[in-house]
């Protein structure tokens, strides 16, 4: 992602959010109800506008095939602004209406890009404590996942409709279909475990903690703000990235090392590191080789090759959920723990 860190920092610092802060180990960490057939989901675009080729009618068809009703935000497909899907106020109002509407059981971001952080001073998420619902997305939506972790509410880091395959139905299923099905399973409470193949950079071990993180750029941009990741309680860190220079990934890992995050987390999960630029000039074969030195001496489980991020399959992850990570020579498994009084 392109760096707009100074702007991100200023806007995050300005965001009050008017929401009660919870810690990651709060016994009443909230899990929104899973969806049921007939429920309604709201689609919004809190950041960048949809590409011209995106067919919202086909997106509706795809989600309705899951047995759900779809409600688009008024500015979800807005293309009047140069970059964003509407003004900050318009996008914030879309998000607020979906949060406040008790008939909407999940709010799914249509795409990422940049801009979610600009909404923080304009939205009140406190209602999610009384009427919890799944907030879904990845990439720039990491901003919202960080806020929800601070509030003690689980969310879903997962594929967004702009990446769904909505072309000819007769084609054989591909990895985009795996991504979409993973989101459906997560929304309906069917996801129990994800697995990863063996990787030469993995570090063996077992650990347990609440899953946190997301896009590496957004995660590091939050340093020094109220939404900064606090790993003082048992935390499993997940990171992914796209389109970054290798030296910038190194700089961000320096940030996580120097602010103490890496020393505190119980395990590290590394997702897709897509389209990394300048590895040859940085003297590394790939982005994994940039990250490996920062995590291999921590003495904790490390998993490379987790299928989540800016490539397909992009598997849905329950952020804020307690997970158990096990890594050995046969690969890795991440189990989502299900113990909670509110789960049906």
3-state secondary structure 176-233: HHHHHHHHHHHHCCCCCEEEECCCCCCECEEEEEEEEEEEHHHHHHCCCCCCCCCCCC
Cα–Cα distance measured from residue 41 to residue 63, given in angstroms and rounded to the nearest whole number? 9
Name, in order, each residue with C-beta under 8 angstroms of 14's C-beta and a sequence gap of 6 or more.
120, 121
Name the nearest CA neighbour of 26 among 212, 153, 157, 189: 153
128: left (phi over 0), alpha (psi -120 to 50) or beta: alpha
Catalytic annotation, residues: 139, 240, 310
C-beta separation of 312 from 163 below 8 A: yes
């Amino acid at each position: 992602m392109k760096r707009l860190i100074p702007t991100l920092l200023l806007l995050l610092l300005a965001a009050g959010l008017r929401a009660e802060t919870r810690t990651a180990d709060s016994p009443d960490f909230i899990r929104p109800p899973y969806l049921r057939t007939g429920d309604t989901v709201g689609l919004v675009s809190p950041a960048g506008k949809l590409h011209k080729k995106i067919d919202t009618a086909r997106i509706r068809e795809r989600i309705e095939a899951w047995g759900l009703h779809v409600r688009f935000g008024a500015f979800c497909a807005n293309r009047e602004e140069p970059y964003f899907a509407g003004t900050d106020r318009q996008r914030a109002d879309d998000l607020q209406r979906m949060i406040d509407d008790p008939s909407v059981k999940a709010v799914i971001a249509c795409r990422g890009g940049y801009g979610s952080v600009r909404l923080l001073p304009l939205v009140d998420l406190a209602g999610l404590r009384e009427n919890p619902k799944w907030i879904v997305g990845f990439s720039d939506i990491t901003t919202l996942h960080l806020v929800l972790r601070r509030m003690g509410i689980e969310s879903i880091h997962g594929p967004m409709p702009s990446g769904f395959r909505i072309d000819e139905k007769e084609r054989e299923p591909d990895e985009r279909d795996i991504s979409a099905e993973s989101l459906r399973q997560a929304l309906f409470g069917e996801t129990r475990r994800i697995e990863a193949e063996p990787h030469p950079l993995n570090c063996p071990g077992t650990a347990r903690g609440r899953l946190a993180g997301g896009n590496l750029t957004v995660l590091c941009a939050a340093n020094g703000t109220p939404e900064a990741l606090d790993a003082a309680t048992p935390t499993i860190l997940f990171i992914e990235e796209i389109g970054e220079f290798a030296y910038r990934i190194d700089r961000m890992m320096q940030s996580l090392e120097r602010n103490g995050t890496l020393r505190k987390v119980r395990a590290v999960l590394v997702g897709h590191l897509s389209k990394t630029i300048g590895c040859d000039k940085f003297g590394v074969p790939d982005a994994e080789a940039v990250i490996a030195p920062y995590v291999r001496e921590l003495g904790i489980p490390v998993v490379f090759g987790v299928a989540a991020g800016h490539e397909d399959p992009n598997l849905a992850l329950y952020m804020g959920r307690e997970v158990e990570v096990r890594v050995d020579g046969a690969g890795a498994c991440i189990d989502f723990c299900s113990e909670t009084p509110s789960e049906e």
